[in-house]
Structure 1
C-alpha cells in the first residue's frame, strides 16, 4: 500500500469512496498522520547566518571562543526546552548523565519561526547584538518585513 496525501475535499471524498468499497471480510489497518511542514531553506539559511554572527560577536566582544555549531547547541538548549532524562551508565566508572536537546532540524516552519524570534530577542536583550535581518530572507520566512519591537 502506498501513502496518499489528502489536501482537498475531493481527495477526502475519494478516500471515503475507497473505504466504503473495502471487503470487510479481511481486516485492514489504516493510519492517518498530519504532514508536518519542516523548516524552510530560508529559515535554515537565516539560522546559520545568525549563528555565525553570534560566534563572531561573542569572540570579538566578550573573548568567548567557540564554533558557530557549539553556540547553536548552547542556545537551542537554553531557549527551547525539551525533555531531558537521566541515563545511568553501568560499571565501576558509571554515573548519571543528562541527555536530550531539541533538534532544530526536526522543527516545523512554525516552530522554527518561533525559535528564530526567541533567538533574535535573546541576542538583543542579553548579548547586546542586533542580528542581521536580510530583506530577502525576512520576506521568504515571514511574508513581509518583520517589525522589531
Structure 2
C-alpha cells in the first residue's frame, strides 16, 4: 500500500508520477481523506487532559484522564452539532455512550477539540503548566 501526503496542488506531480508507474491490470482503490491528528496534537491533548484530571473535581469526584477525554470529546461533539449515541447497555445495566475515538479525528477536528479542552479547563480554573520549549535544557 502506498500513501502520498498532499499539502498543496504542487504535490500532484508526485501523485501523477506514482499513477504513471502503476500496474492497472488489477483494480486499485484510491482514497482521498484529511490527515488524522498528528502525534504532537495527541501529546498536547493528553497533556491538557492530565492537567484537568489533576486539578478539577467533577461533582465531587476525581476522574481519570481517560474519563476526562470521553467527557470532553462528547461535550465537544454536541457543541459541534454531532451527538454521541446513548444506547442501553448490552448487559442491561445502564446506558453506554458511543462516539468517535480521538484517534480517528482529522488534524482540524483535533485542533478544534484542543481549543475546546483549553477553554473548558480555563473556565474550571485550571492553572496550565508552562510549555517547555527547550526539553528541560536551560
How far apart, in 2, do the equivalents of 1:130 and 1:22 lie? Answer: 57
Aligned residues: CA RMSD: 3.6
The answer to whether the 8 Å contact 1:6/1:12 transfers is no
Asked if 2 retains the 8 angstrom alpha-carbon contact of 1:120 and 1:130, the reply is no
Q: Which residue of 2 aligns with 1:44?
A: 42
- Whether the 8 Å CA contact 1:86–1:96 is kept in 2: the answer is no
Is residue 70 of structure 1 aligned with residue 67 of structure 2? Answer: yes
Query: What SS class does the counterpart of residue 37 from structure 2 fall into?
Result: coil
Q: 2-side partners of 1:42 and 1:76: how far apart?
A: 18
Distance change (3 Å), C-alpha of 1:16 and 1:130: same
Larger-Rg structure: 1
Residue 132 of structure 1: aligned partner: 129
Offset of residue 6 of structure 1: 7.2
Deviations 1:122-142, CA, capped at 9 Å, x for gaps:
2223x12243351539xxxxx
Structure 1 runs not aligned, ≥5 long:
138-149
Number of aligned positions between the proteins = 127
TM-score (norm 1): 0.62
Structure 2's unaligned 5+ residue stretches are: none
Instruction: Normalising by structure 2, report the TM-score.
Output: 0.65
Equivalent position of 2:107 in the other structure: 109
SS in 1 for 2:62: coil
Q: Report how far residue 51 of structure 1 moved.
A: 1.4
1:8-42 CA deviation, whole Å, 9 max, x = no partner? 333343356458x967xxxx533221254222222
Contact 1:85–1:99 under 8 Å retained in 2: yes
The alpha-carbon distance between structure 1 residues 48 and 87, as it changes in their structure 2 partners (threshold 3 A), is closer
Q: Which moved more, 1:33-42 or 1:102-111?
A: 33-42
Greater RCO (Cα-Cα under 8 Å, separation 6 or more): 2
Deviations 1:69-91 (A, max 9, x none): 2122111111223454465678x
